[in-house]
Structure 1
Amino acid sequence: MRGHSVILALLALAVAATASPAGAADDETFEAVRAADTVIARIGYRLAIANAPLCDSLEPGLGLVLQTPEQYDTGLREDAVRHFHMDGAIGVEAVLPGSPAAAAGIEADDVLVSAGSARFNPSAPDAAATTQGLIRASALIAALPAGTPIEIHGRRNSQDYVRMVDPVPACRTRFEMLISNGYTAQSDGEMVQVSSRFFQEYPEDQLAALLAHEFAHNILHHRERMEEMGLSFGMLSGFGRNVRYFRETELQADILSVSLLANAGYDPEAIVRFWQAFGPSHASSILLDRSHPAWKDRVATVEKAIADLGHTRPSRPPVLASRDKPLQGDWQALLVKAR
């Protein structure tokens, strides 16, 4: 089940979470959640391991898609635990093919008890819905050495097991899907999040282009650098001195995303195709016009970056060297105007 039907199922799950227990989700809906989460994780994992040489913060790449019971509303939690066999704090929602976890024999619907020095404790069964448990578990795993074998204690069908997983270095970023009918793509330095609406309407290579752009913000430490300068976010990003710095970071992320895609074996032209589809209808709001360069100019800038790629991999564009320096706000020096 893909595309529109997947999103309908995801949105149905979001609605069911606010309904009575009688409106609990069915197995098809939970499998839609697994399918969507796996697509995002697969793209993110591919980007993160291919671009590890460009990142200054690494984590062990395992190829696991994790979840917790408390991610689900209390009205859905019992059904989610049953469906995913989550009789523990951390459930394995999926295992990416060809990953270190797959090679070690870990499977979807297993339960993780510990990973190296990280121990996972279950929350109270009636705790309010939250993703904090998953965030904490992900942080514990991310803090483990990126290139050292990790002893995994797990459980499958009530039987405990031990597996040694030999991770690959990966850039330290979580990739998540937000169940939403709106268009949201954002990053905060540690996480990349895109809404399910994009999954509904765009092919995988263009979804990868969107993720690569947000991922580039994290690699370039944009959030931290902007916070250090005291810049305003949200609606205020399009006013005053904020504008030139936001435009600078958007263009830097556009340029770096070309290399991130190429390094991971994606066609960087997917960025152009995304903007040609998304730009005319969705990139012309007053706020975006103020805080972001015009989409046609962004396409021209991306096309210049593609022309400059060369054949060496991993590609390291000059913009990467700026990440430890203060932002200059000189966005026009990066911009290529559309003809």
Structure 2
Amino acid sequence: MVHLPGRIFRRLVRSLFWAASGFLLLPGALPAWAGASENRETFEAVRAADLKLATIGWRLSVANAPLCDRLEPGLGLQLHTLDQFDSASRTAAQVHFGFATPVAVEGVVAGSPADRAGIRQDDSLVRVGPVDLAALPGKPETTQRLVAAQLAIADLPPAAAVEVEAIRAGAPIKLTVQPVPACRSRFELLLSSGYNARADGTMVQISSQFIEEYTPDQAAAAVAHEFSHNILHHRDRLEARGVDFGMLSGFGANVKYFRQTELQADLLSVYLLANAGYPPRAAIDFWNRFGPSKAGGIFRSRSHPHWRDRVATLEAEIAKLETVSARPMVPGVIAERSQPLSGDWQSLLIRHR
């Protein structure tokens, strides 16, 4: 489990946003308090936390590719850009990470195609297949170039070999990566002292507290739930129903549709976990730990079922999947993702007794 040093974590919570494939260092985040050694400690703590989520996302995306109708080439690369650092921190970051181009490898998922091909952290990228990374649009102190790079790479064929040109320790290198199909989704980590998680159809975002405070399996369960929303196209289907998001999600006709999507995501999440080699009961462990003290805000709104009922529903579904040995398991809810939401959440829910 990644653990950020306490003083580093508290300072970063006040000043940083980071993503699973990079982070944004906001103006004044480091220079006011960090010397060279603390800069290094901070950069490496962020790198380690990013890689933790990237690895969870990788496992879930690759193992469950047969369940997804939107795919991308699974490389196992975790990228970041020099743009993401403010002007006061950019020089320190450039030296620490050895940026020789605007986009570099922050980390590599162990055992991934990129790892097997010999790509290493701090390789500065010139080209990935036909994608000229330096030519992508980017503005200082934004993640614009990072997102553009991720989307351009995701548009490549999911299983075709990719030639990667990079600069390592000042010398050009050229490597060939044989990707594997992966579900198309970005995974971002929000550095925060709160507990927030969301999915928008193309991205999963989760607060750093889930990585910091929960076991790897429990954190994977939280990610799998949000990832399920993307696989089931819930955002598109909710918008097609004309629902209100945000504060109005717990009122009127909105409720039944949000509850249906929440329960569908719960049910699919345990299959995603099992297919990826995580224990399905991690979802129950997560809710039993999270629910009693922290299931507030959106987690306790009228649009979300009570956490005890969610545990009872998960218990019943896990009992079903534990009788199935085939992998990957494809639950029936996958076949429903092209259909309009019916609002029938009652038939999915099992009440806690």
Give ranges in structure 2 of 5+ residues lacking alignment: 16-25
CA shift, 1:282, in A, is 1.5
Q: CA deviation at 1:171?
A: 0.5
Match of 1:233 among 238, 245, 259: 245
Q: Are 1:337 and 2:351 counterparts?
A: yes
CA contact (8 A) 1:238 1:288 kept: no
Structure 1 residues 15 and 282: alpha-carbon distance in aligned structure 2, compared to 1, 3 A threshold: closer
Aligned-residue offset at 1:15: 4.1
Assess, with a 3 A threshold, how the Cα gap between structure 1 residues 2 and 264 changes in structure 2: closer, same or farther: closer
Match of 1:213 in 2: 225
> Is the CA contact (8 Å cut-off) linking 2:73 and 2:179 kept in structure 1?
yes
TM-score by length of 1: 0.95
2:70 maps to what in 1? 57
- The change in CA–CA distance for 1:11 and 1:124 in structure 2 (over 3 A counts) is farther
Q: Is structure 2 residue 322 aligned with structure 1 residue 313?
A: no
**Aligned pair partner of 1:325 in 339, 342, 346:** 339
Match of 1:19 among 12, 28, 42: 28
Per the TM alignment, residue 286 of structure 1 is displaced from its structure 2 partner at its CA by: 8.0
Provide the aligned C-alpha RMSD in A. 1.9
Match of 2:126 among 113, 125, 137: 113
Give the 3 Å change call, closer, same or farther, for CA 113–297 of structure 1 in structure 2: same
Give the CA deviation at 1:74.
Answer: 2.5
For 1:176, the aligned partner's letter is E
Larger mean Cα displacement after TM superposition, 22-31 or 329-338? 22-31
Structure 1 residue ranges, 4+ long, deviating more than 3 angstroms after superposition: 13-18, 20-25, 122-125, 284-287
Specify whether residues 153 and 322 from structure 1 end up closer, same or farther in structure 2 by C-alpha distance, changes over 3 A only.
same
- Structure 1 residues 135-188: Cα deviation after superposition (integer angstroms, max 9, x where no partner): 110000000001100010111111111111000110001111111111111111
Q: Which residue of structure 2 lines up, in the alignment, with residue 2 of structure 1?
A: 2
Match of 1:331, as an amino acid?
W
Q: Supply the AA of the counterpart residue of 1:111.
A: S
Q: Pick from 226, 230, 236 the counterpart of residue 224 of structure 1.
A: 236
Residue aligning to 1:96: 109
**Normalization by structure 2: what TM-score?**
0.91
Q: Shift of the alpha carbon at 1:92?
A: 0.3
Question: In structure 1, what is the Cα distance between the partners aligned to 2:194 and 2:148?
Answer: 27
Equivalents in 1 of 2:258, 2:163: separation in Å? Answer: 43
Are the equivalent residues in 2 in contact too, given 1:151–1:163 (CA < 8 A)? Answer: yes
Is contact 1:178–1:193 with CA below 8 Å preserved after alignment? yes
The letter of the residue matching 2:347 is: A
Pair 1:272–1:231, CA change in 2 (3 A) = same
Code of the aligned partner of 1:19? G
Task: Report the 3-state secondary structure (helix = DSSP H, G, I; strand = E; otherwise coil) of the residue aligned with 1:192.
Answer: strand
